[in-house]
Structure 1
Amino acid sequence: MLRKNKKTISLLLFVLPAFAMYLLFLAIPMIQGSYYSLTNWNGLNKNYSFVGIKNYIEAFTDDASFITSLLFTAKYVIFAVIFQNAVALLLALLIESQKRLKGFFRTIFFLPSMLSPIISTFVWVFVFTKVIPEIAKAAGWDFLKVSWLGDPSVSFWSILTVSVWGGVGMLMIIYMSAIQGIPQHLKEAATIDGVNPFQMLRFITMPLISHALTICVFLTLNSSFKVYDLVYALTNGGPGRSTQVITMNILEEAYQRNFRYGFASAKAIILFLIILAITLIQVSIMKKKEVEA
């Protein structure tokens, strides 16, 4: 009994630092933010009033920039989740089908994920503003002579390109690990039965890596909803507010434009609830498919 108690205490001591960090940097700020979202605090003044759900109502009824940024974020999330996972899965399948140079290709495609997002994004700014225009000028390709970051109809796809380039590496590794975990005898039996590559992918590979798909979609959903640095470095939300994501709108409300910390906290809580609801739905649906598979 004494040994069991000592083991429990030792385990708690190992968990305690992480739990303390969780409380200090996540749980307590979350509780404070929830409270401030019900006030008109400006982030500086000690005197503020309790306004109830007024901030939440105002966000949806009297703040066009919030709705615009929310819709743009939703558009970005949909395309980022689809393209990042599709490209990552395709790369994983192609690399795993190779008999040689697997390590080389894995390193090449994973490398962008190791770079600082800000540094890599500034490199892409140079590509969009200097390299591509020079290529278009030298080759006479008029279709490349567009404002990649200044035209609202094009800047979204520029942001998405950089997002996919920097995000597929980690997802590719997860998919490759799942593919490597498929029992070899299943593949051999399917090959003997005359299964073609498409049928192999549909009926064997995809069902057996559905757990990896659940993880990757979960990761891309969360990171896409909370994207900030990538958009900030590429377009700073412009031109105008045409590429402003919800995180930029929240920070602008709190620190850059109106200093309405309570109102910004309400927007942050709304974002949290949206992410929570979508994530719970996504995980529950995909987990059921894992069981069926």
Structure 2
Amino acid sequence: MTRRSARAAFSLLLFVLPAFILYLIFLVIPMFQGSYYSFTNWDGLNKTYGFVGFSNFAEAFREDSHFRSAILFTAKYVICAVVLQNAVALLLAMLIESRRRAKGLFRTIFFMPNMLSVIISTFMWVFVFSKVIPALSEYSALKFLDVSWLGNPTVSFWTIMIVSVWGGVGTLMLIYMSAIQGIPQHLKEAAIIDGAQPYHMLRYITLPLIAHALTICIFLTLNSSFKVYDLVYALTGGGPGRGTQVITMNILEEAYQGNYRYGYASAKAIILFLIIFVITMIQVTVMKKREVEA
């Protein structure tokens, strides 16, 4: 290694080192500590605790019905969020890219929700669902809007989905727009000359050539959907009852909100990590394989 290359490598290390230290302190070390505590009965307060082996994991699956319900609700949310957010974002990207004018304006309009804090925007939606929509139902013919948007478990799920899609499509839309702009124009023109319909353009040209963007967007929505907390907490608080409680809320409740079973909560967190890891690995592997085939 020459002196110049060694100096360049040392400079690169200096730039990377602060970020690596922060990553090590705030992510890697806590992850290993959580893994260690998941095999204990530590309450998060006392210095003394005992090892309980895999009993925390066994309890989570065999005896904790609230945790199983949270897993099922989270799975339902993840499936709907991934499908709806990506479908809406791709549709918006295609519609905006098909326009000749005002592309920047529409990009700004649909990206604006991403510029707001999740808590602030969610409280805004709480006001809409609790005050504005009931008023519309009362003073108009739209009587079908007179439902408990935040108090009915079935309806509140779709309320959460509306807010989730509204706040989540902006970034995905920009990624899809960038990918669509990279499609060679001569392919589109050749397909139009051959008489291809919009459906054929989407299936045989657009989707195969933006497969890399699909992989990225689905990966992002999978991770964010599994780890959702603030949106659901601000909208429904996990209620009514535990009807809309996600895994992250169940873990926090176990660790801090009266139960103080930090070791048991750590075991649940490890289960969540393994679920996310396995599903994202499968998703990336399958999508990358399809990218190669395309």
Normalised by the size of structure 2, how large is the TM-score? 0.99
Q: Provide the secondary structure at the position in 2 that maps to 1:239.
A: coil
Give the match for residue 273 of structure 1: 274
Give the match for residue 216 of structure 1: 217
> Which 4+ runs in 1 deviate beyond 4 A?
none
Give the match for residue 130 of structure 1: 131
| Alpha-carbon distance between aligned partners in 2 of 1:151 and 1:250, rounded to the nearest angstrom | 23
Give the residue type in structure 1 aligned to 2:272: L
| Alpha-carbon distance between aligned partners in 2 of 1:9 and 1:179, rounded to the nearest angstrom | 39
Give the residue type in structure 2 aligned to 1:252: E
User: What per-residue deviation string (whole Å, max 9, x for no partner) do you get for residues 122-178 of structure 1?
Assistant: 000000000000000111322111100001110000000000000000000000000
Correspondence 1:183 to 2:167: no
Correspondence 1:88 to 2:89: yes
The correspondence of residues 131-210 of structure 1 with structure 2, limited to 5 A, is 131-210=132-211
User: What per-residue deviation string (whole Å, max 9, x for no partner) do you get for residues 48-91 of structure 1?
Assistant: 00111110000001111100111100000000000000000000
| Alpha-carbon distance between aligned partners in 2 of 1:278 and 1:201, rounded to the nearest angstrom | 27
Give the match for residue 60 of structure 2: 59
Give the match for residue 231 of structure 2: 230
Give the match for residue 283 of structure 2: 282
The correspondence of residues 87-106 of structure 1 with structure 2, limited to 5 A, is 87-106=88-107
Give the residue type in structure 1 aligned to 2:224: S
Normalised by the size of structure 1, how large is the TM-score? 0.99
Correspondence 1:247 to 2:244: no
Give the residue type in structure 1 aligned to 2:264: F
| Alpha-carbon distance between aligned partners in 2 of 1:195 and 1:130, rounded to the nearest angstrom | 48
Give the match for residue 44 of structure 2: 43
User: What per-residue deviation string (whole Å, max 9, x for no partner) do you get for residues 242-265 of structure 1?
Assistant: 000000000000000310000000
| Alpha-carbon distance between aligned partners in 2 of 1:141 and 1:185, rounded to the nearest angstrom | 48
| Alpha-carbon distance between aligned partners in 2 of 1:102 and 1:232, rounded to the nearest angstrom | 35
| Alpha-carbon distance between aligned partners in 1 of 2:78 and 2:154, rounded to the nearest angstrom | 17
Give the match for residue 15 of structure 2: 14
For structure 1, the residue ranges without an aligned partner over 5 or more in a row are: none
| Alpha-carbon distance between aligned partners in 1 of 2:143 and 2:183, rounded to the nearest angstrom | 47
For structure 2, the residue ranges without an aligned partner over 5 or more in a row are: none
Give the residue type in structure 1 aligned to 2:5: K
Correspondence 1:69 to 2:70: yes
Equivalences, count: 293
